[in-house]
Amino acid sequence: MPIDVWGIPKRLTKAAVRGMSSHQVEEIRARLSRRGPDADFTAVEAAIYLGRSERTLKRAIDAGVGPKREKNPDVTGRGAVNRHTHFPKRELDSWRASLYGFASSLQSTFGDFESLTEDQPW
């Protein structure tokens, strides 16, 4: 399998990731994090980088709360739209930071989450 300059398989697919050990996935995540802020990730790379499944990422996007993605440019010259997308690293970092901000604001509002599940006197 061809390898890019970051040591990541060029055709990193969901099936390829399934065949990897957790150590290999963590190594790929570390290599993805060393890419510059202008780097573009495929959906599988974005999922690995964020530590989420590709399905979770797609569901967040479909719900309107996921990271911004960009469509690949038309290379045919016919105005065709390529349905494959890529994720700029800066957008993934921004989205991840917003998730952490949301979780910490919830915790500061409600205290610990366990108190929300306790029996109430009413």
For the residues 45-71, what does the mean pLDDT come to?
87
Tens-place pLDDT, residues 61-109: 888 888 888 876 666 666 665 567 889 999 999 888 887 665 555 556 5
- Residue 54 vs residues 44, 48, 50, 109, 113: alpha-carbon distances, Å: 6, 8, 10, 30, 27
pLDDT at 20 over 60: yes
Which two structure tokens, joined as six digits, stand for 116?
A: 């929300």
Percent with pLDDT over 70 in the chain: 62
Q: Is the pLDDT of residue 11 over 70?
A: no
Which of 96, 105, 78, 81 is closest to 29 using CA atoms?
96
